[in-house]
Amino acid sequence: ICDGTDAFVPTVMEHIEYAGIHSGDSAAMIPPLGISAETQRTIEDYTRRIAIELGAVGLMNVQYAIGDDGVVYVLEANPRASRTVPLVSKVCGINMAGLATRVMLGTRIADLGLTRREIPYVGIKEAVFPFNMFPEVDPLLGPEMRSTGEVLGLGSTAGLAFFRAEEAANAALPTSGAVLLTFAERDRRGEDADTPGGQIVQAAQTFVSAGMTIRATGGTAQFLARHGIESRTILKIHEGRPNIQDAIINGDIQLVVNTPSGTTSEHDDSYIRKAAIRARVPYITTTTAALAAAHGIKAAKNGKDEILSLQDYHALLE
């Protein structure tokens, strides 16, 4: 929120998907638990400076990417409101639209008495997609926005908040049964926790500890085995029967995690995602979301929080 000479930054949202996925299609978390305090300070400083330099009056959102070397890059600055503003307002306990309106009518930021408050719970914004109405459309995410709405999940942990957000988005995660893991070769690289390969290992381990069984295609099964994770191999559609599509249709798979092989692959894997849509099986197409889902399922199985009203959550901010 900026008055042209001063700015207030209520929070930083951390996208769960990598940069390259449209911000409207990415799940996002408040507070940003995966971003260091130093990087958050840098982002807030850049945001204030950009808002003031642009002379923005009212609401503004700025999108950033954080490089592997920790450098913060500015992607774009939008001197306008966005559809996420109501969700940020609910998590942070401030009426951003109302405050911005007052600023646009002449009130100064300094006169609003705004203070940044620590958030003792977690809010997850999740996108809502229309793919169930278009079962022949491949539900891949990219730079073009494909979502038609957003929902909010709140909880004491990021896992619970993510679980609730998926439920609100009509993509409820299972708490038992089998999860299909099939990752593109490029994603099965890296060992560190913040690499796709490391995230696959963490997600698979978390699924197992949550009591889920794992079905995996050949390459993914071999990758998991090298990391000591057991799985039952399942055939791709061109490898024979019974295959992935059969298992989804027969109700043997409760969650599909499939990162696309891309247009350079010899075989099209979009049938996996389309089969999940037709069977109304929840599906995930990124390694980061797979890890979030695994933590969500485990958190839900360990016992849900007491259901609180929004006012109850805001009382925790005092």
Q: What is the CATH number of the domain that holds 247?
A: 3.40.50.1380
Q: In this predicted model, what pLDDT tens digit does every residue of 125-137 receive, in sequence order?
A: 999 999 888 888 8
Same domain? For 284 and 181 the reply is yes
Question: Which residue among 119, 134, 165 closes a domain?
Answer: 119
pLDDT at 121 over 90: yes
Same domain? For 199 and 261 the reply is yes
Amino acid, single-letter form, for residue 241: R
pLDDT > 70: percent of the chain: 97
Same domain? For 84 and 185 the reply is no
- As for how many domains the chain has, the answer is 2
Same domain? For 194 and 96 the reply is no
Same domain? For 203 and 94 the reply is no
Same domain? For 115 and 188 the reply is no
222 in a structural domain: yes
Q: How confident is the model at residue 263 (pLDDT cuts 50, 70, 90)?
A: low
Q: In this predicted model, what pLDDT tens digit does every residue of 188-220 receive, in sequence order?
A: 888 787 788 999 999 999 999 999 999 999 999
Nearest to 286 by CA among 15, 13, 14: 15
Same domain? For 271 and 193 the reply is yes
pLDDT at 247 over 70: yes
Q: What is the CATH number of the domain that holds 91?
A: 3.30.470.20
Q: What residue has token string 């911000």?
A: 23
315 in a structural domain: no
Q: Which structural domain range is residue 77 located in?
A: 2-119
pLDDT > 90: percent of the chain: 75
Q: pTM, whole model, 2 decimals?
A: 0.89
Same domain? For 110 and 203 the reply is no
CA dist 310 → 29, 30, 123, 133, 217 (Å): 17, 15, 11, 32, 43
Q: How confident is the model at residue 109 (pLDDT cuts 50, 70, 90)?
A: very high
